[in-house]
Structure 1
Amino acid sequence: MQTSTLLGLGPGVAAAVVILAALAAAVHRWALDGGWLPPLTASLRAVVQLAVVALLVAQLGQNPWLALGFALLMFVIATVTSGRRVDRARWWWSAGPIAAGVLPATAVLLVTGVLPFAGLALIALIGQQVGGAMTTTSLAGRRVVAELAGRRGEVEAAVALGFEWPAARLLVARHTAREALVPALDQTRTVGTVTLPGAFVGMVLGGASPVDAAIVQLVVLVSLLAVGSLSAAATLWLCASGGWGLSAGGLAREV
């Protein structure tokens, strides 16, 4: 059955999802030596969570305050998810980098009038930003922590030369936090030439002109760049200043 989603949503959907999840699990197990479960459990969670969200969004979208409450739930889940990737003992520290990315970007969009105070718009935009901040915090945190652990001798040498601990950690690990921005930078650089992102396609299918869709997609991509940059910087600062991720529970390995 062909629909306005550009994909066939008939019985083949279930078969495709099962086959692709099994393929991901097999590769994760045999090629990456990571076990079967992570891809399978992630896929199952996606099925359940998207089913719930599909039922809720129609109601939440009618009330901007309920939408903000749902966005707060997104933030909490993102904090737990990202924090446990970096430091299980102090996972709540990830709330700082995620908030540091999302709040300023959302404020700019609201103040300029680009983001209306409407339920569906708030859920859509804030949700993307929380997701982007979560990914950046996880990537930046893990890279910085691994770099500091691997080059601990250089950090201690810098301290012996008179640097404070935060400055010594920054000296060693500053460049690694930038690597977390590579996905967002590549997506922005190649938009329209490698792929057409979801916001653009969705708006065109919904009846918007390609020009309007392109403008909205530009706002989304640039806002995600700002979110990622702020989250990466805040993650670097936390790791350097407070030693986040360097505790006994730091740098969770499972993926």
Structure 2
Amino acid sequence: MLNTKKIKTCQLEYSNAIDYPHGFFSNNGGVSEGIYKSLNCGPGSNDIPERIITNRALVAEALTGDKTTPVLSLYQVHSNITVRANSDWKENRPEADAMVTNTPGLVLGILTADCTPVLFADKKNKVIGAAHAGWKGALSGVLQATINQMLSLGAQLETITAAIGPTIHQPSYEVTQPFRDKFLEHNEAYNKFFHSGCDNDHFQFNLPEFVKWQLRETGLQSIYSSTTDTYTSQNHFSYRRTTHKNESDYGRQMSAITLPHP
């Protein structure tokens, strides 16, 4: 089960199953203002850069006690590309949607505003991972790719735990017939993740359950999932909610994990 916990100024959820410092941060506890209020960690937004830098330092402090701990994130492209993080790549964010490491002292951060963040840990073999699983990435295999990269660093399938963070949930995720068809072209069994919508041309898609199913298909046994719907939660940024409100931009919350120094 995921719990809500207050650490310093940042509000986050964490999974009891992952022993390493980690958290699914909300939009609370930062310094940004207006539509970015307040813990916006996304450099891809039009927020004031200095505020984003401060917010990411607050995330680092919440997880490690040190604001200067490197917080790595990706130039997310809705792919299945997974990279290894061996050191701080600073502003040179690789185009990818997942990362893994066995290097202590790095915070792996995934940015979302409705897509599904997934954190991974293998405490026995000291390997961690983080993935951005939007529907495109999940459908193309980003979760399997993340696990494969962890295995290449010495992790073992039976000792990997995954935690699914806040994401858009089925009641809030209306999609069209062509969207559904993309899934059924891959596998007719994916129809179980779609419920009837407002008419024959629309459906409600269950992204977190699709992600959970994909994780189980890889062989993982320890999978935990948040019940928070980012669209309905005022404590989270939501791309879809922003679009429906005709706002000019939106913030990104961070989900992060770190491998502590021995």
Q: Normalising by structure 1, report the TM-score.
A: 0.31
Q: Normalising by structure 2, report the TM-score.
A: 0.30
Higher strand share: 2
Higher helix share: 1
Mark the structure with the bigger radius of gyration. Answer: 1
